[in-house]
Amino acid sequence: MDAANVFLLVCTVLCFYCTGASWMLQFVAYPTYLLVGAKEFVPFHVSFGKRLLPSVVVPMVLTCVGLFILVFARPANTPSWAVILAAVCAVIILLTTIFLEVPKHLKLDKDGKSDALINGLVRDNLPRTAAWTAASLLLAYALFASFPA
């Protein structure tokens, strides 16, 4: 297995990890915010964010960067359309994160619990979760297509 194939494999594994993390945020973490009391919410949310940074945010950013690099460093026999579409998913992920999710998290840290903001986190995380899922499936396809018949 050459370096390009190893890189594709690493990106695929990381992408599936991020997909799982995104689904966990969608169905477990963000909805659970609603159960935290208003008085306890800011310390909870700040602490949650600090824990999320190394375990989810850093891998997600590195994976998005990897998806961009993969467009130019893919194995020769890997379908270019699959890695290009996975990179498009990374653009969707980054844009939704930067422009929709991060501002809500910052506002929750500053202003405290808001059911409307929390419901917005759940709603606006759905395109990100769909993009992670699509990118994972595209990379799985690319990975299997890169093996000789």
pTM, two decimal places? 0.95
**How far apart, in whole angstroms, are the C-alpha atoms of residue 36 and residue 112?**
11
In eight-state DSSP terms, residue 146 is T
The per-residue pLDDT for range 10-37, each reduced to its tens digit, is 999 999 999 999 999 999 999 999 999 9
**How far apart, in whole angstroms, are the C-alpha atoms of residue 51 and residue 73?**
32
**How far apart, in whole angstroms, are the C-alpha atoms of residue 37 and residue 32?**
11
Local confidence band at 146 (pLDDT 50, 70, 90 cut-offs): confident
**How far apart, in whole angstroms, are the C-alpha atoms of residue 85 and residue 136?**
11
Instruction: Look up the domain containing 36 and give its range.
Output: 3-145
The per-residue pLDDT for range 40-56, each reduced to its tens digit, is 999 999 999 999 999 99
- What is the mean pLDDT of the segment spanning 47-66? 97
Asked whether the predicted pLDDT for residue 85 surpasses 90, the reply is yes
The one-letter amino acid at 87: A
- What is the mean pLDDT of the segment spanning 56-68? 98
What pLDDT was estimated at residue 147? Answer: 79
Total tally of structural domains belonging to the chain: 1
